[in-house]
């Protein structure tokens, strides 16, 4: 079997006042709980539509992991065809927006000990999301099945005051190319593999 995971991620955040773009890391909740904090990309699992779930189950025998998250298992023989179908970015099959994930991550209280959101809902009203490209990652780290990850990468554009609020938050880190290459930030935290995919 092959595990397929599809995510909508922020590849870069642009300050619309200065037109400067940055790779932004967000402290990962699971890594904090494990006691080994790491920065990962903003975003997360895309959602499948009910039509997509029916198609994947009926035609490909997909086994879903959790609700309508785009994380599921298909036979090795069907994996490439399923990935090609999803790469077509058909809104009738898969969520094509970062807005839901950004509101959950940045406007919620997802992290241990977090008392205030990174941004307010009204801050994200001025955000714009531009699709850049998709990237596939294939891993055989699990001995019993291959893992195929499909990332839809976006640029998130923010006005200056919102960008500064985001960049100044303790759970956010603007990352340099050197930090990404080394896999460790200047504050000593790990950098997840879903950062620097551009």
The more confidently predicted of residues 144 and 71 is 71
Q: What percent of the chain has pLDDT over 70?
A: 97
The answer as to whether 47 is a domain residue is yes
Q: Is residue 30 part of a domain?
A: yes
pLDDT at position 140: 64
Residue 33, pLDDT score: 85
pLDDT tens digits for range 20-33: 999 999 999 889 88
**Considering its fold, how many domains does the chain have in total?**
1
Which CATH number covers residue 29? 3.90.79
Residue 197 domain-assigned? no
**Residue-wise pLDDT tens digits, 101-139:** 999 999 999 888 889 999 999 999 999 999 999 999 988
How far is Cα 108 from Cα 128, in angstroms, rounded to an integer?
A: 19
CA-wise closest residue to 48 among 72, 76, 80, 81 = 72
Mean pLDDT of 171-195: 93
Q: What is the pTM of this model?
A: 0.93
3-state secondary structure 142-168: CCCCEEEEEEEEEEEEECHHHHHHHHC
- Other Cβ atoms within 10 Å of 115 Cβ, number: 6
Say if 114 falls within a structural domain.
yes
pLDDT of 112: 83
For residues 73-101, average pLDDT = 96
- Domain holding 96, by residue range, is 2-191
Give me the sign of the Cα torsion angle 115, 121, 127, 128: positive
CA torsion 58-59-63-67 (nearest 10°) is: -60
Radius of gyration of the chain measured on its C-alpha atoms: 17
In a domain, 198, yes or no: no
Q: What is the pLDDT of residue 198?
A: 66
Task: Please report which confidence band the pLDDT of residue 143 belongs to, taking 50, 70 and 90 as the band edges.
Answer: low
């Amino acid at each position: 079997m092959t595990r397929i995971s599809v995510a909508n991620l922020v590849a870069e955040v642009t300050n619309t006042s200065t037109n400067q773009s940055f790779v932004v890391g967000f402290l990962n909740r699971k890594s904090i709980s494990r006691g080994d904090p790491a920065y990962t990309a903003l975003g997360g699992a895309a959602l499948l539509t009910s039509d997509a779930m029916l198609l994947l189950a009926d035609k490909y025998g997909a086994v879903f992991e959790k609700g309508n998250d785009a994380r599921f298992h298909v036979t090795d023989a069907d994996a490439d065809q399923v990935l090609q179908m999803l790469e077509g970015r058909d809104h009738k099959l898969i969520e094509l927006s970062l807005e839901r994930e950004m509101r959950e991550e940045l406007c919620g209280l997802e992290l241990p000990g977090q008392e205030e959101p990174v941004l307010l809902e009204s801050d994200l009203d001025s955000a714009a999301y531009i699709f850049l490209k998709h990237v596939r990652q294939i891993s055989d780290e699990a001995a019993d099945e291959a893992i195929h990850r499909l990332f839809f990468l976006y640029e998130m554009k923010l006005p200056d005051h919102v960008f500064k609020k985001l960049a100044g938050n303790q759970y956010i880190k603007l990352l340099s190319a050197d930090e990404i290459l080394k896999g460790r930030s200047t504050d000593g935290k790990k950098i997840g593999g879903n950062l620097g995919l551009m």
